[in-house]
Amino acid sequence: SPKSFQSNGASEEALRCEIEELKQKDLALDQEIAQLLSEGYSLEELETHISLLHEYNEIKDAGQMLLGKLAVIRGVTTKQLYPEYDLELSD
C-alpha cells in the first residue's frame, strides 16, 4: 500500500537516488543533443536517424527469429547458418 511504502525510509531514499540518476541522464542527453545541433545536425535529421535505427533493429530481430526457427528445423545452430546466407557473426 502507498502508506507502507512511504513509511519505508530506505525505499524513499532509493527513489530519490533513482530520480537524481534520471535527471543526470536527461541532462547528459540534452548536452549530447546540443552538441549534435552545434555540429550542424537538425532535430528532424536526428529524429529520422533514430526512426531508421528502430526500423533496422526491428528487421534485424525478425531476421534473427527466422534464422533461429530455421536452425531448429534443420537441427543446427544459428551460427552454422551464417555462412550459408553470407552473414558475418557481427551482423
Would the pTM of this model clear 0.75, i.e. be above it?
no
**How many whole angstroms separate alpha carbon 52 and alpha carbon 4?**
45
The radius of gyration of the chain's CA atoms, rounded to the nearest angstrom, is 22
Contact partners, residue 60, CB within 8 Å, separation at least 6? 91
Quick: pLDDT tens for 35-82.
Answer: 988 999 888 988 999 999 999 999 999 999 999 999 999 999 999 999
Residue 12 has pLDDT above 90, yes or no: no
Quote the pLDDT of residue 28. Answer: 96
Among 2-6, 20-24, 78-82, the range scoring the smallest mean pLDDT is: 2-6
Quote the pLDDT of residue 5. Answer: 52
Quote the pLDDT of residue 2. Answer: 52
Cell matching residue 75:
537441427
